[in-house]
Amino acid sequence: MSHRIPAIFIMLGIITLLLLVADIMVGSVYIPPAEIVGALTGGECPEVTASIVIDIRLAKALVALLTGAALSASGLQMQTLFRNPLAGPYVLGISSGASIGVAIIVLAGVGSSLGIAGAAWIGAAAVLLLIAAVSARVKDIMVILILGMMFSSGVSAIVQILQYLSKEEALKSFVVWTMGSLGQVSWAQMAVLAPSVTVGLLMAFAVVKPLNLLLLGQDYAVSMGLDIRRSRLLIFTSTTLLAGTVTAFCGPIGFIGLAIPHLTRMMLRTANHLVLMPATMLTGSAVMLVCDIFSKLYTLPINAITALIGIPIVIWVVIKSR
């Protein structure tokens, strides 16, 4: 038991690193690993290749890495907080919040100076404020879950109305956003994405003890010293920073946040979040890189790939754990 867990971490680390290199290799032009190493370390490498590696592919690969870790870490937090295996980063309505932000800009054409990412981020943050306000008053966590789902459906209805009323070109760019894309993030946007996600991931580490306590339900958690309001606020803020930021820049990416925590629990056979949290982040990064490689090889939208890879994982885990 004690030797197995470090071994899994080392293995996950190596796999993630190899996938990161593989992800940079793959694209419209194939780049051999030796040149990638050259470009990254300032060694021997043609100038054009170096510029492709550093200016374009490295940024995209890092986006995949951060996105996978972010979605998985927020999914794990939601599953434990709501004690619901079907919870994911979007149960609180974060993707709906982001999508109405984008819909207002793209479909209604209001406030387009914010950009799609800015609008999505504001939409997601608005959801956080609403959830935080509700959770300060409502004690029962299941009520918050139901409110989140209802809110999410309500917002989707409004987005549908906007879609129905909008012009064809605007509709198309909105639909393309909902399909997700890791490739639209520039280094300039990375300057916002990376710090936000990093803060979210650090907050996810700060709540490992509250999450462990919440495994036994809220009453037991409080009786063992959990500050429920503070913990909830931390968890909600972390989830919004992680899922909200990723959704803002890459669109709503499904199934990673739902599937990866299950996969990680099954690999490690532990419920201790101190181990589970970093392992989930690493596994999420690795799987997201695999999805990105497939999406680039076959030029398909990332959301379709994550669903096709994520769904079998969920089914496999559900069947095997019965």
Partner 1 sequence: MIELQNFSIGYRGNTLVSCDTARFTPGTLTALIGRNGTGKSTLLRAIAGLSQNYTGTIAIDSRPLKELTPRELARTVAFVSTARIRPANLLCSDVVALGRSPYTGWSGSLSAADRQAVSEALAMVGMADYAPRFIDTLSDGEYQRIMIARAIAQDTHSVLLDEPTSFLDLPNRYALCRLLAELAHKHHKTILFSTHELDLALEMTDEIALIDNRTLHTAPSAEMRATGYIQSLFNL
Which residues make up the interface to partner 1 (CB under 8 A)? 83, 206, 208-209, 212-213, 215-217, 219-220, 222-228, 265, 268-272, 274, 321
Least CB distance to partner 1 at residue 196 (A) = 22
Least CB distance to partner 1 at residue 269 (A) = 5
CB nearer to partner 1: pick between 210 and 284: 210
Least CB distance to partner 1 at residue 62 (A) = 27
CB nearer to partner 1: pick between 139 and 172: 139
Rounded Cα–Cα distance for residues 97 and 102 (Å): 9
CB nearer to partner 1: pick between 97 and 210: 210
CB nearer to partner 1: pick between 83 and 311: 83
Least CB distance to partner 1 at residue 273 (A) = 9
CB nearer to partner 1: pick between 98 and 213: 213
Least CB distance to partner 1 at residue 209 (A) = 4
